[in-house]
Amino acid sequence: MTDVLRRGRASLAFSFFAQGVTFALLVTRIPAIQDRYGVSDALLPAFLAAVPILAGVGSVTTEQLVRRIRPSRLLRWSQPVVLLALVGVGAGGALGELGLALAAFGLAVGALDASMNMLGVSLQRTYGRSIMLSFHAAYSLGGILGASLAWAGAHWHLTLWVSYLPVVAVLLPAVLVGSRWYVDGEAAPAQEQQGEQERSGGVVFRLLLPLCLVMTFAYIGDSTVSNWSAKYLKDVLGGSEQLATVPYNVYMVTTLLGRSLGDFGVRRFGAAAVVRLGALVAAGGFAVVAVAPDAWAGMLGFTLLGLGLCVLVPQTFAAAGRLFPGASDAAIARLNIFNYVGFLVGSPLVGALGDAWSYRGAMLVPMVLVLVTLVYAKSFAAQPDRYGGGHERPRTADVGRGSNGI
């Protein structure tokens, strides 16, 4: 049984890693995609907005599907669709083909994100200690690799399909093989739930709402970094064009570092304390960016942002699983929608405030939103969350079936 869990954890971590590579390859080559298809600056936002909107639809659909289909099966088949859609983005030649490829990518990525986190939460419950951050660390590592591969493709002036096809040719069979060892954990016993609706397996949105807000605020902060860090460093802080490419890489590296170490903090101090610290560090990062006198001070701010924001999303998913132990799949699918809400709101919000006011002032808005997380930090301790270090929960976990047994 231990070997089953280890294989399940490793295969799921690889799935997170592969998705990190895939998503980075898409978003970091947006200028090349725009050039290939002749997408105007006016039309580009519509294409970019369509992906998270359709991903939200995919996440809602996943909530319905997991009532009849195990999350491992959804993950097994949604990830190949995402990979093939990436190739479609690179290989098409007309706007209609780009639209179809992005639509397939968006719908599949919603199911992929939801099902990956469902499996992560159920595995964490089975382990009885915090491991959720390690999965998201694998995603960060994949993002770093994907961004590096995208840089190499741009540096060598490779066409999109030439950049994408070898990566997909490696990842696609690997994720299909790895999917044989996914582990579907069982829902927690009904007696562990609180409230009549929770005992019946339902999700009370009033209780989930604080986590939805935290998820939204975290992704507003994340999208601010991914979309505006280069422009901010160059145009506001006077950095060189070459230096302007560094903040996002620094952010991703510190995100990887924070997530790699974060599970130990959760086991020692509890999820609520780690979330509070992460929110304070992230708010400090935005404050440093807003008042930075030069590019190097701004780099310090983006470093703090990576260390602070990195813990919020994984712990929000984990908290939803603890809050609704008998309906965690449904809770995670609903919570995952607010991932895309934050992504949709963050970049336009900062851009509009920057144009109307100032980009320094605009950085204070995500800072305030991240600080609001402190108000909701108690939601992260809705169930006993001090795993490990003498704080294991006294319960017997059922591993469930590996997905190859479906």
DSSP helix/strand/coil, 402? strand
Same domain, 236 and 316: yes
Task: Quick: pLDDT tens for 325-379.
Answer: 888 999 999 999 999 999 999 888 998 899 899 999 999 999 999 999 999 998 9
Residue 67, helix vs strand vs coil: coil
pLDDT in tens, 294-327: 999 999 999 999 999 999 999 999 999 999 988 8
Q: Domain of 139?
A: 1-184
| DSSP-derived secondary structure for 80-126 | HHHHHHHHHHHH--SHHHHHHHHHHHHHHHHHHHHHHHHHHHHHHHH
Q: Are residues 172 and 216 in the same domain?
A: no
In angstroms, rounded to a whole number, what is the distance separating the alpha carbons of residues 223 and 230? 12
Rounded-to-integer distance, Cα 240 and Cα 221, Å:
24
Q: What is the pLDDT of residues 216-274, one digit of tens each?
A: 999 999 999 988 888 898 889 998 877 877 888 889 899 999 999 999 999 999 999 99
| Alpha carbon of residue 197 to chain centroid | 29
What was the pLDDT predicted at 395?
40
Structure confidence by residue, pLDDT tens digits, 73-102: 999 999 999 999 999 999 998 999 999 999
Q: Are residues 15 and 147 in the same domain?
A: yes
Residue 399 domain flag:
no
Do residues 138 and 251 both lie within one domain?
A: no
Domain boundary among 129, 154, 184: 184
Q: Is there a domain that residue 402 lies in?
A: no
Q: Tell me the pLDDT band of 1, cut-offs 50, 70 and 90.
A: low
- Residues 165 and 252 reside in one and the same domain: no
Instruction: Indicate whether 393 belongs to any domain.
Output: no
405 in a structural domain: no
Q: Are 205 and 285 members of one domain?
A: yes
- The whole-angstrom separation of Cα 48 and Cα 58 is 16
- Do residue 255 and residue 342 come from a single domain? yes
Domains of the chain: total? 2
Domain boundary among 184, 219, 240: 184
8 A C-beta contact, residue 72 and residue 406: yes
| 285 in the same domain as 144 | no
pLDDT of residue 197: 43
pLDDT, tens digit, 9 for 90 and up, residues 15-74? 999 999 999 999 888 888 988 999 887 888 888 889 999 999 999 999 999 999 999 999
The number of residues making up the chain comes to 406
Q: What percent of the chain has pLDDT over 70?
A: 89
> Domain for residue 391, yes or no?
no
Residue 335 falls within a domain, yes or no? yes
pTM of the model as a whole:
0.89
Residue 390 has pLDDT above 50, yes or no: no
Q: Do 180 and 201 sit in the same domain of this protein? A: no
Distance CA 354, CA 360 (A): 8
Query: In the 8-state DSSP scheme, what is residue 236?
Result: I
> How far apart, in whole angstroms, are the C-alpha atoms of residue 104 and residue 54?
9
**Measured between alpha carbons, how far is 306 from 309 in angstroms, rounded to an integer?**
6
Q: At what angle do helices 2-27 and 132-155 cross, to 10 degrees?
A: 40
The answer to whether residue 163 sits within a structural domain is yes
- Does residue 382 share a domain with residue 294? yes
Q: CA-to-CA distance for 281 and 284, rounded, in angstroms? A: 5
- For residue 116, give both structure tokens: 């990956």
Q: Is the pLDDT of residue 386 over 70?
A: no
* CATH code: domain of residue 18: 1.20.1250.20
Distant-in-sequence, close-in-space partners of 355: CB < 8 Å, separation ≥ 6: none
Measured distance CA(235)–CA(221) in Å, rounded: 20
Q: Please state, as a whole number, how many other Cβ atoms lie within 10 Å of the Cβ of residue 48.
A: 19
Rounded Cα gap, residues 82 and 112, in angstroms: 8
Q: pLDDT by residue (tens digit) across 187-231?
A: 555 444 444 344 334 678 888 999 999 999 999 999 999 888 888
Please compute the mean of the pLDDT values over residues 96-112 and round it to a whole number.
Answer: 96
Q: Which of 137, 161, 184 is the last residue of a domain?
A: 184
Q: Is residue 401 part of a domain?
A: no
**How much is the pLDDT for 364?**
96
* pLDDT score, position 300: 95
Q: Residues 6 or more apart from 166 whose CB is under 8 A from it?
A: none
Instruction: Please tell me whether residues 21 and 168 are part of one structural domain.
Output: yes
* 385 pLDDT higher than 50: no
Claim to verify: residue 236 and residue 95 sit in the same structural domain: no
